Amino acid sequence: MSFRVVRSSKFRHVYGSSLKRDQCYDNIRVSKSSWDSTFCCVNPKFLAIIVESAGGGAFIVLPLSKVGRINADHPLVGGHKGPVLDIAWCPHNDNVIASGSEDCVVKVWHIPDGGISRTLTEPIVDLIYHQRRVGLVLWHPTAQNVLLTAGSDNQVAIWNVGTGEVMVRIDCHPDIVYCASWNWDGSQLVTTCKDKKIRLINPRTGNVDEEAVCHEGSKATRAIFLKSGLIFTTGFSKMSERQYSLRAPEQLTEPIVMVELDTSNGVMFPLYDPDTNLVYLCGKGDSVIRYFEITAELPFVHYINTFQTPDPQRGIGMMPKRGCDVSSCEITRFYRLNNSGLCQVITMTVPRKSELFQEDLYPDTVGDTAASTAEEWLEGKDAEPLLISLKDGYTPKSAQKSELRVNRKANLLEKKSGRGDAGNQHYSSESLPDDIIQQFKEEIRKLKAMIVKHEERIRILEKTAKQYESEKVAANNIEEKPNSDNVAPVNANADLAPDEV
């Protein structure tokens, strides 16, 4: 007699449900860019979606309470000169969001509580370093004001947003960087590249600790760090079959698990919940969301279920655990973008009869307080995220308490705008370094010398032109005046023959 033992797991019966249309967000012009991005990010205060806009790039920011049909003239965040490719909310400040664009500039914005009432065009700071479009922005999980950006120039930059400076430059990728992910405490970085390789990088030095071929297919691959230190990847095989794999950092060349899913051609985005060790696979253009539980038991990646929807998805955003509803045993919430302009809200719930707080479903989760500063992280301090309990719920901070302050150097990222309030600013020479002042003085001296030289040349040309005009007038007068001395006398007999005279 044979029988099958069912694996014991409290997440075996997780099910997904979609909220009604009037509780979702409708009439959104989702971006039509072909860039492999989720186009959406969300936190306990706001929902941000990259949208189509004329005259540059923009994204829309909506308070979570503003559900229903969105007006076509709703204010946008639109300071970019090219289409926006990626956006990311700061994990330590729910009012701060970063955006990367095809105009090669990364901008950091501050959104007031309640959203924006008019189109926002003035960011907190512009981060200018990349020479080609910026398709990836990623905040550090524990250090305050540390932002990673990657562009099509194959460069990865790690910024200190508080000063507007690049702290680390990573130049080890021969081609476009597809994705990047920090580990649990932000001491390591994993990236995937168009050369099909996955790299484990020391983010403070930029040195590659280990590299290996990720997936043999030529399409985009993704990799994320799990809380345990393992790496979960998605990609394609040589036959264009979609795959996922689980790898250990010390043995990247030998995957622990490599599984083929299907033959669809959409890039799969792995979304990870470190509290439950669940990974959700959301493919671009798919109408399903697959979710898996990762454990220490064979086969390590356990398939749980699939959430089916009728429409293909354009992008998707995942709510941080502190924004979930603990009273209904909601463990994850997704904001799923359709091609029709609907942002569908999907909740993942563990069925429980009790209405009490379920401690096994909600261990202490990552809070919104940074564990270290950017300077401490750069000096080598590693700190795990500060955790909070959700037993009594989570209350977001106000914008006044969480305002981002940027202390920029005088010669870095200075705005020289002639519009609005920026045009009324006065810059004193005392705030500029001596070498910059000396450089300005030298340029002014050269300009003055050039002006004097051109003025002398103009005077000579004007004098020559006047002299030429006077000589021309005199010549015309001589030609018009009759000269009697030069006129020959008329001979009446000139036409007669000599014999006739």
Name the token pair of 90. 């700061």
Return the pLDDT at 399. 66
**30 lies in a domain?**
yes
Residue 215: count of CB within 10 angstroms of its CB: 26
DSSP, collapsed to helix, strand or coil, labels residue 464 as helix
Name the token pair of 112. 């007031």
CA angle 98, 150, 370 (to 5 degrees): 45
| pLDDT digits (tens), the chain, 501 positions | 444 566 788 898 999 999 999 999 999 999 999 899 999 999 999 999 999 988 789 999 999 999 999 999 999 999 899 999 999 999 999 999 999 999 999 999 999 999 999 999 999 999 999 999 999 999 999 999 999 999 999 999 999 999 999 999 999 999 999 999 999 999 999 999 999 999 999 999 999 999 999 999 999 999 999 999 999 999 999 999 999 999 999 899 999 999 999 999 899 999 999 999 999 999 999 999 999 999 988 889 999 999 999 999 999 999 999 999 999 999 999 999 999 999 999 999 999 988 888 998 999 999 999 999 999 999 999 999 999 999 888 887 776 555 676 765 543 333 333 333 433 333 444 456 777 787 788 888 888 888 888 888 888 998 888 888 888 888 887 776 655 444 444 444 444 444 443
**7 lies in a domain?**
no
Question: pTM above 0.85?
Answer: no
Return the pLDDT at 471. 84
* CA separation for the pair 85, 177 (Å, rounded): 14
Angstrom distances, CA of residue 413 to CA of 80, 90, 98, 410, 426: 16, 21, 16, 8, 16
Rounded (10°) CA dihedral 278, 343, 100, 374: -50
Count each helix (H run) and each strand (E run) in the chain, helices first. Answer: 2, 32
Give the distance from CA 293 to its chain's centroid: 30
Return the pLDDT at 400. 57
Q: Is it true that the peptide bond before 299 is cis, omega within 30 degrees of 0? A: yes
Q: List, as one string, the DSSP characters of 295-330.
A: -SSTTSEEEEEEEE-SS-EEEEEE--GGGS-GGGTE
Return the pLDDT at 166. 95
**244 lies in a domain?**
yes
Return the pLDDT at 482. 54
Helix locations, 66-201, DSSP H? none
Phi, psi of 21 (to 5 degrees): -60, -35
Name the token pair of 59. 């994204």
Phi, psi of 477 (to 5 degrees): -65, -40
* CA separation for the pair 173, 168 (Å, rounded): 15
Name the token pair of 185. 């405490």
**442 lies in a domain?**
no
- The CATH number linked to 81 is 2.130.10.10
Return the pLDDT at 54. 81
Amino acid 6 reads V
Q: Considering only CA atoms, which of 210, 232, 211 is closest in space to residue 222?
A: 232
**423 lies in a domain?**
no
**Beta-bridge mates of residue 208:** 201
Q: Considering only CA atoms, which of 9, 49, 5 is closest in space to residue 30?
A: 49
Q: Exposure pattern of 115-144 as b/e (b: 16+ CB <10 Å)?
A: bbeeebbebbbebebbeebbbbbbbbbbbb
Angstrom distances, CA of residue 345 to CA of 19, 115, 223, 241, 307: 6, 19, 25, 29, 13
**138 lies in a domain?**
yes
* CA separation for the pair 290, 69 (Å, rounded): 29
**202 lies in a domain?**
yes
* CA separation for the pair 501, 497 (Å, rounded): 7
The count of structural domains within the chain is 1
Query: How many Cα atoms sit within 13 Å of 56 on the Cβ side?
Result: 14
Residue-number span of the structural domain to which 272 is assigned: 15-381
Amino acid 211 reads E
**457 lies in a domain?**
no
Q: Considering only CA atoms, which of 315, 317, 313 is closest in space to residue 288?
A: 313
**Beta-bridge mates of residue 338:** 313
Name the token pair of 27. 């009439």
* CA separation for the pair 392, 389 (Å, rounded): 7
